[in-house]
Structure formats: C-alpha cells, structure tokens
Amino acid sequence: MSDQDKAADIHCSVLPSETLELLDPRSDGVYVDGTLGLGGHSEAILRKSSPNGRVIAFDWDAAAIEKSRERLKCFGDRLTIVRRNFSEIGEGLAEVGVDKVDGILIDIGLSSLQLDMGARGFSFQRDEPLDMRMDLRREVTAAAILAECSEDELADIFYYYGEEKQARRIASFVVQERMLEPISTSKQLADIVVKAVPRRFHPKKIHVATLVFQALRIAVNTELENLAGILERGVEYLKPGARFCVISFHSLEDRMVKRKFRDNEELKVITRKPVVASPDERERNRRSRSARLRVAEKI
C-alpha cells in the first residue's frame, strides 16, 4: 500500500453521508463524537451544524488528539476534546458542563492513524513492538498478555474476541515459542500463527493472523466492555428524539449493538438492518468494507 493510499484512508471517514443523514445534526445542537480519531466525523458534524452546533469529541489516544486539535482549530470553541474513552461519557460531559446531547456517534475499532502510523504492533505488515494500547496510560500490553496468560486463557481470548477456529492450536504454539524467547514483536506473532495453522485452514481473503491480532487488540483495550458501557450509559445523556449512531467493524460488536438497541425500552430502532458502504465507497476506502452502521432514537 503506497503512502498516497494510506493518506487517502487516513482522511476518509467511513459512511460519511449515511451517518450525517441519520444523525441529522442541527445548528442549535450538541453532539458527542465518541471516537475522534483524525476528526473526519467531527468535522462533518461541525460543518453540517454550522454556525452554532457543538461537538464534544472523546478519544484516549494522545497522538490522535494532537493531530485533530490542529486540523480542526478553525472551528474554535465549537469543538471540545475530552481525553477519555467513550465509555466514560458521563464523567466527560460533566467535565465540560453538558447534561444532555442531541446525538451520539461512535465509530468503533482501530483508526487508520493507529494502524499506519502508530508503531504499536497493531499490524503485521511491519515489524513493531507488540504494544496495541490505544491509550499509552494503560498498563497491559499485547506482549504482556502473550507472556503471562495461561494456554487456556490465550485460547479463550483468540476464540471469543477473534472468533478464531484454530484458537487452541495457536495458543499452544504461543506457549511453546515463549519458552524459547519472549514474543515481543508483531512479526514474531504473525510467524507463529502462520506455523500454527495448517495451510489448508488459511483464509483466502485475509492474512491468517488477522483474527489473532484483532483478539489481542480487543483484550488489551477492553473494547467490548467499553462498548457495553457506552450502550448502557449513553442513552441517559440523550434528549428525547436524539439519535444514537454506532459504526462497528466485526460481528461481535455488531451483534452487541443490535441486541442492546433492541432490548432498551428507551430506544426506537431506526435501522432494522445495518447500513453498509456503497460499492463506490468500498472501492475508495478499504476500511469501509466491513463497516456496519446501526441507529436508534431516544423515545
């Protein structure tokens, strides 16, 4: 992938027109962007809600915040950035003196910045330290999990968070390899997975280590717990008629969003089926190919 292609992915938000249409930001509204990243969705909301709409943007990645603050400085005090995970929505809104909002948008998962520029071991395309922390203030790294978890614990992580069918065999290989030397880089881990999974079980469309890397990232950053937190707590901060929009990227997340929206008596589901990217967007932006947008409205 060329640097030009990377730049295109980095600055191209997923499902931008569909998200704006369903969130429906207005000039008198206050909106939460729970995953600021490089600010693509925040910028779109701020432009659509001009001249007075506000965005309270959450992110716990200091590098993303620094870049977005500079890129979006033209919006002045219409943008407020909170360095917290979106699961801490209550604490974050209290810090900035906001009680209720007119909409929430969450774009879950790994940002292009972290994947292409973070040097934290999120990708097996380069040989990087196995860190995988989105927030460097957190203590547990991917390398620590690989070093300290039992074989059964590793198998559970790979199976439940990555839906990896070869989870137990991969966990066994990890334990064998770590007895020889610490597993500290992304290339080491990718090579172990390649060896562990018989060739006939290698997927055709993705790298054989993709689901293991996904599972470790989810475990390091407690992503499913954080998602459950915002789905439970976010609703109480929505005004009646406000929209709750969630973009997810794999089946575990999408099932959780679908269930939580369906079961919450304070919400009316707007999207009976998830909104997916158009063929044109899927061609332009690789990240959009697995994106699923679900929307509910506060009753």
Q: Where are the domains of the chain?
A: 3-113+223-298, 139-220
Nearest residue to 10 (alpha-carbon basis) of 106, 118, 86: 118
Q: Is 114 annotated as a binding residue?
A: yes
Phi and psi angles of residue 238, each rounded to the nearest 5 degrees, phi first: -90, 140
Determine the Cα–Cα distance for residues 82 and 63; give it in Å rounded to an integer. Answer: 13
Determine the Cα–Cα distance for residues 274 and 259; give it in Å rounded to an integer. Answer: 12
The domain 3-113+223-298 is placed in CATH, from the list 3.40.50.300, 3.40.50.150, 3.40.50.720, 3.10.180.10, at: 3.40.50.150
Q: Is 202 annotated as a binding residue?
A: no
The amino acid that residue 259 corresponds to is R
What CATH architecture is 139-220?
A: Orthogonal Bundle (1.10)
Quick one: pLDDT at residue 2? 33
Q: Is 41 annotated as a binding residue?
A: yes
Beta bridge partners of 54: 30
Q: Is 5 annotated as a binding residue?
A: no
In the chain, which residues have pLDDT < 50? 1-10
Report the SS3 class of residue 213: helix
Helices (H) and strands (E) in the chain, counts: 15, 7
Q: Is 241 annotated as a binding residue?
A: no
